[in-house]
């Protein structure tokens, strides 16, 4: 039987590799974590629990115990929210524990960025990496725009379907159109009357 502490060991190890790659590219982030060397925190979302410790180098290591100086609870829709609205993502994130440590972690996570272009350049060269990055940015913007339109359209459709009452603006538009139609119909009848 696998112990509760080791159940999340592999995901924590994978997350450590990703976070450390980003941290090693940003000296300011390592400097922000250095005063907290030896402290541990847990990153949680739904059933996932990833446990980390800060090393003497200002990077992370996986931990398999339940004694934490800070706990970060991410919103349930974390990946989607991170992609669509980072401000809302961080607004819904909950931190508890040591105030100084939580503040340092929040600062690092809020400002840590992945330089995709630099990583791609090591594999495919500078020019190709720049083109790929531009394509990814355009695809990300297009995807966010499409997602936003879908959500807005769905909300509008659900609102219309759920409400038995016509919205005031639509009713006013319909009345204006009806008045114009009546005016045009009266003019047409007048012309027909003159021709007859």
* Rounded (5°) CA angle 34-39-42: 115
Distance between CA 175 and CA 77 in Å, rounded?
43
pLDDT of residue 59: 92
Helix or strand (DSSP H, E) at 106: helix 99-111
Per DSSP, 194 falls in state: H
Instruction: Identify the weakest region by mean pLDDT among 73-87, 89-103, 146-160.
Output: 73-87
What does the pLDDT look like over 131-190, one tens digit per residue? 877 777 777 677 667 777 777 777 777 666 555 666 677 778 888 888 888 888 888 788
pTM: 0.56
Q: Is 130 exposed, middle or buried (0-12, 13-18, 19+ CB in 10 A)?
A: middle
Mean pLDDT, residues 77-83: 59
pLDDT of residue 36: 94
């Amino acid at each position: 039987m696998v112990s509760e502490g080791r159940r999340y060991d592999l995901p924590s190890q994978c997350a450590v590799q990703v976070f450390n790659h980003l941290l090693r590219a940003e000296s300011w982030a390592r400097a922000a974590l250095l005063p907290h060397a030896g402290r541990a925190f847990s990153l949680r979302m739904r059933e996932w629990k990833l446990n980390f410790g800060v090393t003497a180098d200002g990077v992370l290591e996986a931990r398999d115990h339940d004694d934490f100086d800070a706990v970060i609870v991410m919103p349930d829709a974390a990946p989607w929210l991170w992609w669509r609205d980072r401000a809302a993502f961080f607004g819904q994130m909950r931190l508890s524990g040591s105030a100084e440590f939580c503040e340092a972690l929040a600062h690092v996570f809020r400002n840590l960025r992945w330089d995709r272009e630099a990583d791609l350049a090591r594999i495919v060269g500078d020019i190709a990496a720049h083109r790929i990055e531009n394509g990814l940015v355009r695809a990300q913007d297009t995807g966010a725009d499409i997602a936003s339109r879908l959500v807005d359209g769905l909300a509008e459709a659900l609102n219309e379907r759920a409400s038995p009452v016509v919205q005031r603006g639509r009713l006013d538009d319909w009345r204006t159109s009806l008045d114009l139609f009546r005016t045009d119909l009266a003019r047409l009848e007048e012309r027909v009357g003159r021709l007859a």
